[in-house]
């Protein structure tokens, strides 16, 4: 968990239906570029980035799952040892919003009870089928933070990732003894 290069390793899993912008969000967060041609993204790949909060250096490892059609038998293990799970839906496609309950059910079956959750409504740059209030209420009912983003323009992408990471680091600072046991 602790290495000389960083104080804490944070594992994040980003899930959601296909074509909601998961890879684009990761590429925007890590490299600050929009790269829409990412169709060759491997099934279980990840990206890494270092972030700093307070006196902590955090190595962030972000795992991206493929969409709902690609779930395989190994998938439940993907939820293990993730401090943060981000569920992404496409604001311009209601069907992806309707799938949130499916993804939540998956996480409840396999994720740790201490996992932090974030719901991201992506593609604010497109015409909406899901309103802010509806999505915010859904996140509130599920006990999640909610952020709307545009991976294309970078709108609130850093804020989305850093807000859940900062929440995790705050927990570490205030409950360190409990987390390492």
Give the residue numbers spanning the domain of 103: 8-174
Report yes or no: 93 and 128 within 8 Å, Cβ to Cβ.
Answer: no
80 versus 125: the higher-pLDDT residue is 125
What average pLDDT does range 62-74 have in this prediction? 60
Number of domains in the chain: 1
With bands split at pLDDT 50, 70 and 90, how would you rate the model's confidence at 79? confident
Strand pairing report for 8-15 and 46-53 = unpaired
Assign residue 64 the CATH number of its domain.
3.40.50.300
Q: Do the domain assignments include residue 3?
A: no
CA torsion through residues 137, 143, 146, 151, sign: negative
Q: Do the domain assignments include residue 180?
A: no
Q: Do the domain assignments include residue 78?
A: yes
What integer pLDDT is reported at residue 75 of this predicted model? 62
Residue carrying the six token digits 């990412």: 38
What integer pLDDT is reported at residue 89 of this predicted model? 98
Q: Do the domain assignments include residue 70?
A: yes
Q: Do the domain assignments include residue 132?
A: yes
- What does the block give as tokens for 88? 């992404």
Q: Do the domain assignments include residue 109?
A: yes
What's the CA angle centered on 37, arms 126 and 69, to 5 degrees? 80
Average pLDDT, the chain: 85
31-47 residue pLDDT tens: 899 877 655 555 546 78
Q: Do the domain assignments include residue 2?
A: no
Cα–Cα distance, 90 to 170 (Å, whole number): 29
Q: Do the domain assignments include residue 181?
A: no
Q: What percent of the chain has pLDDT over 70?
A: 83
């Amino acid at each position: 968990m602790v290495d000389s290069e960083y104080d804490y390793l944070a594992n994040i899993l980003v899930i959601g239906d296909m074509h909601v912008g998961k890879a684009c969000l990761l590429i925007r967060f890590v490299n600050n570029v929009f790269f829409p041609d990412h169709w060759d993204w491997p099934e279980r790949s990840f990206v890494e980035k270092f972030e700093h909060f307070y006196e902590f250096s955090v190595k962030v490892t972000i795992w991206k799952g493929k969409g709902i059609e690609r779930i395989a038998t190994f998938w439940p293990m993907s939820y293990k040892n993730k401090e943060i799970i981000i569920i992404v839906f496409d604001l311009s496609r209601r069907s992806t919003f309707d799938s949130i309950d499916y993804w939540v059910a998956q996480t409840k079956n396999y994720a740790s009870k201490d996992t932090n959750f974030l719901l991201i409504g992506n593609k604010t740059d497109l015409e909406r089928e899901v309103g802010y209030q509806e999505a915010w209420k859904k996140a509130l009912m599920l006990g999640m933070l909610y952020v709307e983003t545009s991976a294309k323009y970078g709108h609130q992408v850093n804020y989305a990732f850093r807000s859940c990471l900062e929440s995790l680091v705050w927990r570490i600072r205030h409950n360190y003894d409990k987390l390492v046991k």
